Structure 1
Amino acid sequence: MENNFPKVTIILRGYNYEQVKTVMDVLKGKHDHYALEITLNSPDVLTTINKISKEYGNNFYIGAGTVLSLEDATNAIDAGAQFILSPIKLSKEILEMCKQKNILSIPGAMTPTEVMELKMNGADIIKIFPANTVGKKFFNDIQAPLGKLPLMAVGGVTLDNTVSFFENGADYVGIASGIFNKEDVLTQNIKGLKESLLLFENKVFK
């Protein structure tokens, strides 16, 4: 399942449905490159996830971020999230529920011990957070003894360092303010959003 998961997850934190919808419209046709994470600490978030997943879920992976508990995970999945992300190491119970419901799980880790525990507990992708704190070399360094792992760099990922995370052993990145200008999302500035996306793509996918 994670094999066809896009390399870049765009993280939208604190935006309403209309603002998220504008970003989705800008991403039209780019589902091979991007997944979308809507964080649970956003306004009326379960309604937003529900609407966006109904409108775009056939083409895009639409997920929930900042999942911290079994209740969070259950609510997000019931709303239509196809994957869940967390800044923390999710419990085995949550990871098993995701497996049963065919939901991709991306829990957070910061140490080799946490990474290995999550792998053994069935995490699909392991989010290294905060990635910029541990540094790019961390990704290759932990895979030397532990073997190839599906790792996502999140936290401090920007236009300028995305490629170097990939070059250093990360399979995926999650990017928030590093791709779109917050003001453009808030004001639904399609021209500005398209320009930012083009800049990112020219740097990362060319």
Structure 2
Amino acid sequence: MEKIINKIKKHKIISIIRINESSQIESIVGSLYKGGIRVVEVTLNTPNAFEAIKKIRKIYPDMIVGAGTVLDEMSAKLAIDSGASFLLSPILDKKTIELANRYNILIVPGVLTPTEALTAYNYGARMIKIFPARSLSPSYISDLKGPLPQLDIMAVGGISLENAEEFLSKGCSSLGIGGSIVNNYDIEKRNFLAIENKAKEFVEIAKK
């Protein structure tokens, strides 16, 4: 688990793949890879998500591949069995955290308030996900870390080229980015170069 945490914090950008159908998954991930992305998350509400996770791991063994929208123990176990190296959830569920920790798999539960954040930490979460971040100012992160400096925070939801740098500067160790990199419009148009170029822009921000 420590290795995965360190790699996420090194790369800082997690590209979230939430799409209507997964037939183009190789082209999508290929574009992300060319753009410098090395950490991806396939949401479990993407069709054939478990197969997509297996495929990405096989084609790009040096990428960190996680599962997102993990809502319960059952989906967490299926994701782990499919090869997911980390799990992201939009919610806080104690049993799901316990299961992930049992298998030494990083789980990043979704929280919003200071109470939820500390509860997740006390449940054993090594990293938490502030979601939806678009509802908050980036300063919320530094405000939260003031009394709770032990929190390792990923911001997800509404992260864009306009606010990514500020979220990082205010104390986020990583950012989960969805439609600002991978969206159904570009996929339907087969505009994979756009995905590659957007990935490059976020990777450059992370390097600053």
TM over 0.5: yes
Deviation sequence 1:83-129 (CA, Å, 0-9, x none) = 110110022x2222212222111111001111111111111210000
Which residue matches 2:132?
130
Secondary structure of 1:147 counterpart: coil
CA distance in 2, matches of 1:39, 1:200: 20
C-alpha contact (below 8 Å) 1:127/1:151 kept by paired residues: yes
Cα deviation, residue 186, structure 1: 3.3
2:19 and 2:183 in contact (8 A); partners too: no
Q: How do residues 147-158 of structure 1 correspond to structure 2 at under 5 angstroms?
A: 147-158=149-160
Is this contact kept in 2: 1:159–1:179, CA < 8 A? no
For residues 12-32 of structure 1, the C-alpha deviation after alignment (integer angstroms, 9 at most, x for no partner) is 11254442221221233777x
Q: Is 1:64 aligned with 2:67?
A: yes
Which residue pairs with 2:112 in the alignment?
A: 110
* CA deviation vs aligned residue, 1:122-170 (integer Å, no higher than 9, x gap): 1121000011212211111011111232100001111111001001111
Q: Equivalent residue for 1:186? A: 188
Q: 2:84 — aligned with what?
A: 81
Kept after mapping to 1: 8 A contact 2:164/2:175? yes
CA distance in 1, matches of 2:49, 2:12: 24
Which of 20, 30, 33 is residue 28 of structure 1 equivalent to?
Answer: 33
Q: Percent identity?
A: 35
Structure 1 position 203, deviation (Å): 4.3
**8 A contact 2:16–2:182 mirrored in 1:** no
Alignment match, 1:11: 16
Distance 2:62 2:93 in 1: 27
Q: Distance in 2 between matches of 1:81 and 1:12?
A: 14
Inter-partner Cα distance in structure 1 for 2:32 and 2:77: 27
Q: Do 1:19 and 1:186's aligned partners in 2 also have CA atoms closer than 8 Å? A: no
Tell me if 1:146 matches 2:148.
Answer: yes
1:166 equivalent in structure 2: 168
Please report the TM-score for the alignment, with normalisation by the length of structure 1.
0.89
Q: 1:176 to 1:99 in 2, by over 3 A?
A: same
Q: Distance in 2 between matches of 1:200 and 1:175?
A: 9
Per the alignment, do residues 29 and 192 of structure 1 end up closer, same or farther by CA in structure 2, a change over 3 Å counting?
A: closer
Instruction: State whether structure 2 residue 53 is matched by structure 1 residue 49.
Output: yes
Q: How many equivalent pairs are there?
A: 203
Name the amino acid aligned to 1:90. Answer: D
Q: Which runs of 5+ in 1 are unaligned?
A: none
Higher relative contact order (CA closer than 8 Å, sequence separation 6+)? 2
